[in-house]
Structure 1
Amino acid sequence: MAAFVAKLCALILAVATVKHLLIEAYLLAGLCAVLLALLLIEMHGFKTRRTLPVPVIIIMLITLVTVLLTLQQQGASAAFWFFPLMLGGYYAMPTRLANNFAALVVASSAGLLWWLGDSWSVIRYVPAMTICALLIRTAMLQSNQLTARLSDAAERDPLTGAYNRRRLSRLQSDYGYGTGQHALLVLDIDHFKTVNDRFGHAVGDRVLRDVVRVMQDCIRTEDTLLRLGGEEFAILMRRGGAGNSYALAERIRDAVADARLLGEHQITVSIGVSMLRSPQEFDSALRRADHMLFMAKKAGRNRTCHAQAASAP
């Protein structure tokens, strides 16, 4: 759909360029030609996945000037172009910037029509454009909220509510690491197969949900809890040093053990911890944490093994 709209806009701009050249409106012809060139560059960039070096707001302002000049020459009959212009602003720019641009469109068009002495058109078009801008803004906000909810649902494990591997893949590139160290914890529920075999899978599912609830109560809001698969989980701890990450792991381990999630049959977890500074270290950090988890299991389970502590002399 976006490609079709872009091609339609390119066709309209090409026709407008030729038309203005024929009537010797060289300024408008030049502006239309510039917009056509920028649009073609943007279409090529979309295919090659390269961003346009010119900010979108500059393109939208050039378009606004072009429409205002058209309005000055043709009168109120050209005012209908302001409606798709506002729609394009909400489609191409962040909501706050689009709101400001829509207000600029309404104010500049009203001012120009008033300056041209067409007060009746001001009364007709300004309320219509204002209502249009408000409706577009509401629709875009609802669309963005729905997209965010769907995106979050796609990255959630339906059983436990923890994030899944799809979220893990995205965190590897855009977690927002910043400065300082970050910690990666890998956790595994001890003897979980025994729980399923002895009590049934329904009870096992409940234990998974309860363990996630306990872990959620232990971590900070900026930390991310993920289910890697089965009874294995991971926690990405932003700006958590070696001491803090070890303390978090121990807090989780104690909380799960003390919760008595299955009555007399105590549920425990083993945890491996490693550190990372950048997304480039993510895979190696995950391997180190997984190895530390293996060491915790080997050492008797219900314990924490930290890669930094293990590497210390």
Structure 2
Amino acid sequence: MEIIDLHCDALMKLADGKGKISFADSSDLDTNKTRLQKGDVKVQCFAIFIEPEIKSDQKFQAALDQIYYFKNEVLGKNHEMKQITSWNDFDHLKENEIGAMLTLEGVDAIGNDLQKLSILHELGVLSVGLTWNNANLAADGAGEPRGAGLTTFGKEIVQFNNRHQILTDVSHLCEKAFWDVMDIADYPIASHSNAKELCNHVRNLTNQQARAMFDKGGLIHVVFNPPFIKESGKASISDLIKHIDHFCALGGVDQIGFGSDFDGISKKVLKLEDSSMYQNLVNELLKYYSEDQVRGFAYQNFLQARPNYRV
């Protein structure tokens, strides 16, 4: 069964490797091309993530560096990889092609300059998360004790996303900022989050947040990071499925997807350690859900919920 995965951090590893890591088959990458092919991943989203310790005046260049490796190492050296730059590109991938979509994990790279976000959008970014776990000029992240909401600039970013049919990703926001996004975002999504009811982690979503996402037509893509699945930090595929069960019980059966966080996590779900093992998850889900429902989780829910095609 084909897969759409909304989040991985391979670009950070490729940029850190400075051209010495092969996207085709490097064992350093959970999401290399060979593993994506084996796991039947049809679309992989690649996050641009800028580490907090990078100096402010170097962050936009760091984002451009990651896009350079995306264009040259992921796309340029692998003819099967095709960049998705508009929402109807999903419908035109050939049988042997894998779609590759850019996302932005935190807007630290743009400082207070919306023109820089426009440049990143022109280069292909179709989903924007306002923060990582820290605070920035747009909002407070889940790890910021202050827990403040969106700034005026943060609201301008969401409005920019609305105008350009860009997803606004809530996965790393503090709760106050989450609710501010829900008030104004046309295209909210949680690219890699689980249920706080089952695992009390600051990165997970409460029942109230999940219901609000579903009520607004947003999707929640479950994440494969064990500390977000079980508080013990060790997790099986069955443990991950409990989060899917929980979101289904809240009314989200048609609004659930996958956001592995491969290449950004150090701990792994047993028998789901990289992209090549995706069908282990599919096969386990088929024991409890209909084929249509599992197809929804795997890719169809996202296709049906994506923003309208651009004119």
TM-score normalised to structure 1 length: 0.21
If each structure's helix is expressed as a fraction of its own residues, which one has the higher value? Answer: 1
The higher relative CO (CA closer than 8 Å, separation ≥ 6) is in: 2
| Larger Rg, first or second structure (1 or 2) | 1
TM-score normalised to structure 2 length: 0.21
